[in-house]
């Protein structure tokens, strides 16, 4: 207390505060830089932890795996069969009928689910079979899914064959506790998402709560694969429990199959640069979830389901039944669970298949970036003339900004649902808001600058706790706006506004990160919102667009 | 003495029945029915002969005139197997279900009797029936579940424990009720590892007055997977030569085809068993054969056994055809809704009959599920004739009974809110979710009664982080510490303007030096 009293006394004398305030823009830049540096520092030895199992009941790979020898022959036979459907260019309804028939050969109850796009047009038919657990209460289930085409649109030949082989294999089991649902959606994104939605709303034949899901992706006609790549990022910043990712990794390593995370490096070769690369892969996948390149396991997001994707990478180290055994072993661990996944971490970044950083270690970097906005808000508060700070101007600024945000969100929403009349209406209210802000007096403009900075700081740090990567990326993209204001240099203003311009950002980010043209990039975000219920588009409309518009208006 | 025992036995009746029916997909349905009946004098002391004395005394002491217990697991696949055996009257939902008709002055009295009854049965059947206390028990109407003995002057109470795992330890006391235990008779065919490896299984115990006598019916029904009985219980990969392949496939590839119907006998299904009969009653085996099947080279088999249980050889010509009667209606119940706070239920009842049917739909909900009856909506083609809803009071279960008229199919939907429990109310495996009892649907059409139970459901509740109390203690202490420091400082310190601060006073060393001087 003594220290605080002295500090207060010193600031009252006036020198201390002035000195600090003068340094605030510098502190703000420093804050953002430290945030980014912290991120780079995470993969350094000693900063991350080795993964471990929190849930004792999982017992990963504690038993002998049985999917081998004659199952290889069966998988081969099934693969020849489904390959012939694809090579003969069979129409979808025939393919569905014949695949259903394969399930029926093993006495698996099989059902279909017709799905449609958000606009109501027919999309396709998903097939799913249910293997009932002999010993169990019939109200818990696990899902094994293999989309007919994988995330790159290639025919998922091995995946579907292994899935059917496993369906046959698990009918022989008498000691299962959880029901098993085998799903073959017609594609890896919307079709699977619709099935998951339907399972929880309208499907008549269900098998209990889904406790975990494994998606198989083996899009090659070869009998051999090099290693397994594990995909786990969900939509809207959701991640499966770290225990599930560990279980899959441990099962694979016990079968002598190498693993990698999100298409990065395999577990055996690790260095600072590979860990950094994997870290950026995590951020890339999480921030870009629901836009493009989603692992199919992301489609289970939002229903309290932990899901991962197992992806076979081409090569010739392991044979196809090893892929099936990894899936078998992972499912058996899920089957062992007495409770829903809850023990381990739900927020983490994986640096390699066996090392991770938890939220407490990585969150500061996004928060520091967000804090640099707050610092600039303080700077503005302390530097404007006392006369400019009046409650009327502040109210004007808050009201105008809320109006702007609402207009953008309304515009974004109705643009997405293709309701053009309401979309135009919100465009009109948007222009009213813009004109109003441009015509503001200098004190209101100053207040607007404070409001924008404070709101950005608060929103970005809140978003960081839910979706770290998106908050970090938005924070970096919006950072120039922290230094834009009517009291700043005109040239600096125009340069900063240019860098953070939506056109520039969509072109650069869409082109560099996803290889998409700006128009396509926006379409994909909108599609993600409409078809997959990913919030990225609305977040962009609610945070990024109003902030940039307000910042540019006050500089005019 | 011997004469007396023989006289007693003459007044009693004991019968054993086994019904067997092959189903499609290499499955076999079998029902073991054990019936005991005995005159009971209304004035104590009661002489027991066939009827188990231990059970009789429990019923006597709790004034229970009728008792029905069901143990069940698995899901009945009505698409392939048709209607439930005996119109579903012997079937239980998953877990344990128990209902009784108790003679009592009022509900309070009945509840006391009930608590005594379930606690005694709990030890008796090695099942946690003691948990069927006043928070779980419901009072359905007698229109829905009429007493089989016809004594309407009683109070009906029903409870189900869906989380109860049914296993061998429940079968053993079940068999001990039989006069020959499982030492002789058809009951020797019931071994735990075979019964509980079945795809669907139910055990029932019914005690009720019947023609002035007391009758005990014990039934075990199961659907076994015939193929599994030929292989190791561990799913080792079969030999390549044992695979059933499509004939067009070449080397190293086998497109598996449906396994043809395999021949089997009683030993392959039930394992080795004693072939002696129980001398206390008649035993009868009846086989209901579909077209294409033979037993011991005959197309039908029905026999009252005389000396031993014969071996029955079941052979199919591979072209068997099954015609199972479909159930009169099908019920599907599932959760809808998104997130941890709110939820919804969706019930679809499909009428398989060409004319409208009238069913009663009964379900009970634990107190932490707050049902919103105003959200109850009815879709499809049908009406709600009658609605009884007893909301949850005092941590009791809420009870819903609907009488529905269904033309072809209806969709019932309603919403609920999940509430947080008190910390000590959470079970040790709180993250498992909470089991919701199966819903019971009853169709009554004149004398025809059909019952169907949905599978239980698992409701995930919001669960607190159980390490939270610890964190809260730490945080609170820190905040308290900080606040205390500040306030203490303000209270104890003198606040003096800077100008009035006394000019630099002497330090300790100077004071000491002064003293010395």
Element holding A513 (H helix, E strand): helix A502-514
Residue among B180, B218, B194 nearest B36 (CA): B218
- Do B100 and B195 belong together in one domain? yes
Residue B365 within a domain = yes
CB within 8 Å: B458 and A209: yes
User: Residues B433-455: pLDDT tens digits?
Assistant: 999 999 999 999 888 999 999 99
Q: B345 lies in which domain range?
A: 329-459
Are B338 and A77 an interchain contact pair (Cβ–Cβ within 8 Å)?
Answer: no
Q: Which residues of B touch A134 (CB under 8 A)?
A: 74, 197-199
* Cα B14 to Cα A179: distance, rounded to the nearest angstrom: 40
CA A127 remoteness from chain centre: 26
Number of domains in chain B: 2
Residue B333 sits in the same domain as residue B286: no
**Is B68 within the bounds of a domain?**
yes
Q: Which of A202, A206, A338 sits opposite B429 (nearest CB)?
A: A338
Name which of A66, A105, A109 is nearest B256 (Cβ-Cβ).
Answer: A105
**C-beta of residue A335 within 8 angstroms of C-beta of residue A324:** no
Q: Specify whether B161 is located in the same domain as B78.
A: yes
Q: Which residue of B has its CA nearest to A342?
A: B431
Give the pLDDT mean for A244-252.
96
B156-215 pLDDT, tens digit per residue, is 999 999 989 898 999 999 999 999 988 999 999 999 888 988 999 999 999 999 888 889
B354 lies in the same domain as B271:
no
> Using one digit for the tens of pLDDT, what is the confidence trace for B353-390?
999 999 999 999 999 999 999 999 999 999 999 999 99
**B372 in a structural domain:** yes
Q: At A285, is the pLDDT very low, low, confident or very high (cuts 50, 70, 90)?
A: very high
For B236, the closest chain A residue by CA position comes to A66
In the sheet that B200-210 helps form, which strands lie side by side, from edge to edge?
Answer: B155-161, B95-102, B64-74, B200-210, B213-225, B27-39, B12-23, B282-287, B301-304
pLDDT higher than threshold 60 for residue A133: yes
Q: Provide the CB-side half-sphere exposure for A477 (13 A, CA).
A: 24
* Per-position DSSP letters for B32-80, written without gaps between them: EEEEEEEE--SSSSPPPSSS-HHHHHHHHHTTEEEEEEEEEEE---HHH
Pairing of strands A140-145, A209-217: parallel
A69 to chain B: closest CA residue = B237
Among candidates B79, B235, B239 on the partner chain, residue whose Cβ is nearest the Cβ of A66: B235
Query: Is the CB of A205 less than 8 angstroms away from the CB of B498?
Result: no
Lowest mean pLDDT among A161-170, B138-147, B411-420: B138-147
Average pLDDT of the residues in A219-238: 94
Domain boundary among B255, B290, B321: B321
Regarding whether B126 and B23 lie in a shared domain, the answer is yes
Q: Does A66 contact B77 at a Cβ distance shorter than 8 Å?
A: no
Q: Is the pLDDT of residue A66 over 90?
A: yes
Quick one: B223 and B353 in the same domain?
Answer: no
Which residue, A248, A211, A256, is CA-closest to A229?
A248
B280 with B252, same domain? yes
**Residue A1 pLDDT level (bands cut at 50, 70, 90):** very low
Produce one character per residue of B347-374: b if its CB has 16 or more CB atoms within 10 Å, e if not. Answer: bbbbbeeeeebebbbbbbbbbbbebeee
Is residue B473 in a domain? no
Q: Say yes or no for a CB contact (<8 Å) between B228 and A208.
A: no
Residue B505 maps to a domain: no
A-chain residue closest to B223, CA distance:
A134
Per-residue model confidence (pLDDT) at position B49: 82
Q: What is the pLDDT of residues A347-365, one digit of tens each?
A: 999 999 999 999 999 999 9
Query: Which residue, of B423, B438, B459, is where some domain finishes?
Result: B459
Number of neighbours of residue A62 by Cβ within 10 angstroms: 11
In a domain, B481, yes or no: no
Q: What residue spans of A88-140 are helical by DSSP H?
A: 92-105
For A134-156, the pLDDT digits (tens) are 888 889 999 999 999 999 999 99
> Does a structural domain hold residue B280?
yes
**Do B140 and B278 sit in the same domain of this protein?**
yes
Query: From the list A138, A172, A203, which residue is nearest B235 (CB)?
Result: A172
Other residues' Cβ atoms within 10 Å of the Cβ of residue B420: 13
pLDDT band at B251 (very low <50, low <70, confident <90, very high): confident
Q: Decide if B254 and A69 are in contact by the 8 Å CB cutoff.
A: no
Helix (H, G, I), strand (E, B) or coil at A241: coil
My answer on whether B314 and B351 are in the same domain is: no
Average pLDDT for residues B346-350, to the nearest whole number? Answer: 93
* pLDDT score at B9: 57
Q: Are residues B52 and B162 in the same domain?
A: yes
In whole angstroms, how large is the CA radius of gyration of chain B?
A: 32
Does the pLDDT value for residue A35 go beyond 90? yes
pLDDT beyond 90 at B465: no
Non-local (6+) Cβ contacts of A481 within 8 A are: A452, A456, A496, A497, A500, A547, A548, A551
Residue B405's alpha-carbon distances to A361, A364, B91, in angstroms, are 61, 61, 24
| Across B92-99, average pLDDT | 92
In the predicted model, is pLDDT for residue A8 greater than 60? no
CB-based contact B228 A78, cutoff 8 Å: no
Look at B319 and A343; give whichever has higher pLDDT.
Answer: A343
Among A9, A137, A238, the residue to mutate for chain B (most B Cβ within 10 A): A137
- Together in a domain, B381 and B273: no
pLDDT tens string A526-548: 999 999 999 999 999 999 999 99
d(C-alpha A150, C-alpha B282), whole Å: 64
Size of interface A-B (CB pairs under 8 A): 140
The answer to whether residue B237 sits within a structural domain is no
The percent of residues in chain A predicted with pLDDT above 70, rounded, is: 96
Nearest to A132 by CA among B202, B75, B224: B75
What integer is the mean pLDDT of A247-265?
A: 94
Residue A403 has pLDDT above 90, yes or no: yes
Contact A209 B198 (CB under 8 A): no
Mean pLDDT across B23-43: 88
**Are A215 and A175 within 8 A, CB to CB?**
no
Q: How much is the average pLDDT of B289-312? A: 89
**Which chain A residue shows the shortest CA-CA distance from B490?**
A1
pLDDT beyond 60 at B1: no
Single out the residue of B190, B193, B187 nearest to residue B167, CA to CA.
B193
- Residues B301 and B333 occupy one common structural domain: no
What residues of B are in contact with residue A166 (Cβ under 8 Å)? Answer: none
Residues A80-129: pLDDT tens digits?
999 999 999 899 999 999 999 999 998 899 999 999 998 889 999 999 99
* CB neighbour list of residue B458: distance below 8 Å, 6 or more residues apart: A137, A139, A140, A208, A209, B432, B433, B434, B435, B436
Chain B nearest-CA distance from A439, in A, is: 45
Give the model confidence (pLDDT) of A427-478 as tens digits. 999 999 999 999 988 888 888 999 999 999 999 999 999 999 999 999 999 9
**A7: pLDDT strictly greater than 60:** no
Out of B459, B489, B505, a domain closes at B459
Residue whose C-alpha is closest to residue A374's, from A276, A263, A279, A451: A451
Among A67, A74, A338, beta carbon nearest to B256? A74
Residues A137, B162: C-beta atoms closer than 8 Å: yes
Selection from B434, B440, B357 nearest residue B91 by Cα: B440
Mutation target vs A (from B262, B347, B433, B436; most A CBs, 10 A cutoff): B433
pLDDT at B3 over 60: no
Contact B129, B172 (CB under 8 A): no
Residue A314: φ, ψ to 5°: -65, 145
**What is the predicted ipTM?**
0.87
CA B365 to CA B400: how far, in whole Å?
A: 8
Model pLDDT for residues A180-196, shown as the tens digit of each residue: 999 999 999 999 999 99
B309 has pLDDT over 70: yes
Which residues on chain B are in Cβ contact (under 8 Å) with A205?
332
Element (H, E) at A165: helix A157-170
Average pLDDT of chain B?
88
CA dist list (Å): B323 to A105, A542, B26, B301: 20, 62, 15, 18
- Residues in chain A with CB shorter than 8 Å from the CB of B235 are 66, 169-170, 172-173
Mean pLDDT of B36-48: 78
Residue B402: CATH number of its domain: 2.60.40.1530
- pLDDT tens for A204-218 read 889 999 999 999 999
Cα distance between residue A341 and residue A244, in whole Å: 8
Q: Does residue B304 have a pLDDT over 60?
A: yes
Tell me the chain B residues in contact with residue A80 when contact means C-beta distances shorter than 8 Å.
249, 253, 255
Q: Which residue reads 């939902």 in tokens?
A: B93
pLDDT at A6: 62
Among A556, A549, A238, smallest CA distance to A412 is for A549
How is the beta sheet containing A179-184 ordered, strand by strand? A109-116, A122-131, A179-184, A140-145, A209-217, A306-319, A224-231, A259-261
Nearest-CB residue to A138 (from B75, B237, B254): B75
C-alpha distance from residue B404 to each of B67, B142, B353, B375, B414 (Å): 27, 16, 15, 17, 15
């Amino acid at each position: 207390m003594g220290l605080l009293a002295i500090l207060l006394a010193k600031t009252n004398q006036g020198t201390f505060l002035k000195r600090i305030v003068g340094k605030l823009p510098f502190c703000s830049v420093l804050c953002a830089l430290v945030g980014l540096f912290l991120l780079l520092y995470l993969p350094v030895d000693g900063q991350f932890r080795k993964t471990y199992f929190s849930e004792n009941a999982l017992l990963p790979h504690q038993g002998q795996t049985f999917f081998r020898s004659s199952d290889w022959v069966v998988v081969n036979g099934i693969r020849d069969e489904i390959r012939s459907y694809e090579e003969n260019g069979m129409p979808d309804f025939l393919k569905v009928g014949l695949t259903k028939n394969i399930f029926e050969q093993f006495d698996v109850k099989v059902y279909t689910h017709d799905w449609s796009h958000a606009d109501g047009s027919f999309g396709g038919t998903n097939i799913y079979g249910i293997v009932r657990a002999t010993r169990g209460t019939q109200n818990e289930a696990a899902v094994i899914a293999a989309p007919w085409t994988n995330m790159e649109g290639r025919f998922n030949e091995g995946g579907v064959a292994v899935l059917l082989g496993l369906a046959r294999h698990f009918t022989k089991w008498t000691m299962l506790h959880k029901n098993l649902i085998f799903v073959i959606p017609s594609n890896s994104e919307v079709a699977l998402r619709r099935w998951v939605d339907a399972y929880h709303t309208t499907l008549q034949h269900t098998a209990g709560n889904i406790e975990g899901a494994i998606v198989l992706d083996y899009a090659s006609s070869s009998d051999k694969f090099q290693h397994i790549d594990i995909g786990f990022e969900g939509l809207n910043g959701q991640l499966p429990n770290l225990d599930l990712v560990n279980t899959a990794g441990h099962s694979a390593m016990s079968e002598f199959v190498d693993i990698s995370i999100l298409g990065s490096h395999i577990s055996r070769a690790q260095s600072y640069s590979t860990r950094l690369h994997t870290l950026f892969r995590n951020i890339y996948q999480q921030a870009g979830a629901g836009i493009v390149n989603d692992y199919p396991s992301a489609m289970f997001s939002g229903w309290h389901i932990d899901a991962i994707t197992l992806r076979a990478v081409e090569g010739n180290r392991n044979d196809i039944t090893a892929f099936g055994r990894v899936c078998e072993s992972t499912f058996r661990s899920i089957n062992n669970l007495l409770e829903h996944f809850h023990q381990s971490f739900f927020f983490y970044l994986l640096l390699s298949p066996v090392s991770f950083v938890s939220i407490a270690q990585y969150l500061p970097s996004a928060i520091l970036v967000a804090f640099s906005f707050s610092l600039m808000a303080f700077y503005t508060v302390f530097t404007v003339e006392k006369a400019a700070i009046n409650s009327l101007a502040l109210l004007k600024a808050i009201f105008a900004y809320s109006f702007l945000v609402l207009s953008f969100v309304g515009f974004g929403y109705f643009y997405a649902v293709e309701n053009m009349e309401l979309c135009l209406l919100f465009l009109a209210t948007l222009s009213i808001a813009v004109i109003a802000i441009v015509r503001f007096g200098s004190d209101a403009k100053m207040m607007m600058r404070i409001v924008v900075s404070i709101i950005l700081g608060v929103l970005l740090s809140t978003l960081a706790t839910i979706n770290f990567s998106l908050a970090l990326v938005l924070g970096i993209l919006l950072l120039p706006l922290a230094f834009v204001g009517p009291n700043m240099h005109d040239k600096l203003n125009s340069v900063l506004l240019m860098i953070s311009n939506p056109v520039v950002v969509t072109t650069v980010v869409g082109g560099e990160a996803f290889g998409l043209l700006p128009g396509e990039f926006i379409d994909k975000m909108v599609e993600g919102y409409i078809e997959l219920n990913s919030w990225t588009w609305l977040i962009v409309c609610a945070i990024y667009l109003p902030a940039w518009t307000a910042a540019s208006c006050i500089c005019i | 003495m011997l004469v007396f025992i023989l006289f007693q036995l003459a007044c009693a009746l004991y019968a054993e029945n086994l019904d067997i029916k092959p189903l499609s997909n290499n499955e076999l349905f079998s029902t073991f029915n054990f019936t005991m009946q005995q005159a009971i004098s209304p004035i104590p002391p009661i002489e027991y002969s066939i009827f188990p004395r231990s059970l009789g005394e429990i019923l006597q002491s709790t004034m229970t005139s009728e008792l029905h217990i069901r143990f069940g697991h698995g899901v009945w696949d009505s698409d392939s197997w048709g209607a439930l055996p005996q119109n579903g009257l012997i079937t239980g939902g998953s877990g344990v279900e128990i209902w009784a008709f108790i003679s009592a002055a009022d509900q309070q009295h009945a509840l006391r009797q009930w608590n005594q009854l379930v606690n005694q049965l709990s030890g008796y059947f090695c099942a946690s029936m003691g948990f069927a206390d006043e928070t779980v028990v419901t009072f359905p109407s007698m229109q829905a579940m009429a007493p089989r003995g016809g004594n309407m002057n009683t109070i009906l109470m029903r409870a189900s424990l869906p989380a109860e795992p049914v296993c061998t330890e429940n079968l053993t006391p079940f068999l001990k009720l039989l006069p020959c235990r499982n030492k002789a008779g058809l009951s020797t065919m019931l071994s735990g590892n075979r019964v509980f490896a079945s795809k669907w299984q139910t055990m029932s115990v019914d005690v009720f007055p019947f023609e002035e006598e007391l009758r005990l019916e014990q039934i075990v029904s199961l659907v076994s997977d015939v193929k599994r009985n030929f292989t190791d219980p561990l799913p080792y990969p079969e030999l390549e030569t044992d695979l059933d392949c499509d004939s067009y496939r070449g080397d190293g590839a086998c497109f598996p085809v449906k396994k043809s119907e395999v021949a089997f006998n009683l030993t392959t299904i039930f394992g080795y068993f004693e072939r002696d009969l129980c001398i206390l009653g008649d035993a009868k085996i009846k086989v209901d054969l579909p077209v294409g099947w033979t037993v011991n080279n005959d197309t039908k088999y029905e026999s009252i056994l005389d000396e031993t249980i014969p071996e029955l050889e079941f052979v199919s010509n591979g072209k068997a055809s099954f015609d199972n009667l479909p159930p009169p209606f099908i019920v599907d119940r599932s959760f809808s809704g998104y997130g941890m706070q709110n939820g919804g239920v969706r019930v679809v009842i499909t009428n398989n009959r060409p004319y409208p049917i009238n069913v009663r739909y009964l379900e009970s909900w634990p107190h932490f599920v707050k049902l919103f009856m105003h959200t109850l909506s009815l879709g499809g083609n049908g009406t709600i004739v009658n609605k009884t809803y007893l909301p949850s009071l005092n941590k009791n279960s809420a009870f819903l009974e609907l009488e529905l008229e269904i033309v072809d199919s209806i969709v019932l939907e309603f919403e609920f809110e999940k509430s947080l429990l008190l910390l000590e109310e959470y079970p040790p495996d709180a993250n498992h979710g909470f089991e919701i009892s199966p819903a019971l649907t009853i169709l009554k059409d004149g004398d025809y009664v059909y019952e169907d139970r949905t599978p239980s459901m698992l409701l995930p509740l919001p669960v607190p982080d159980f390490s939270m109390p610890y964190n809260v203690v730490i945080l609170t202490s820190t905040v308290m510490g900080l606040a205390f420091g500040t306030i203490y400082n303000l209270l104890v310190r003198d606040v003096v303007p800077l100008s009035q601060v006394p000019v630099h006073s002497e330090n300790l060393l100077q004071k000491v030096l002064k003293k010395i001087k």
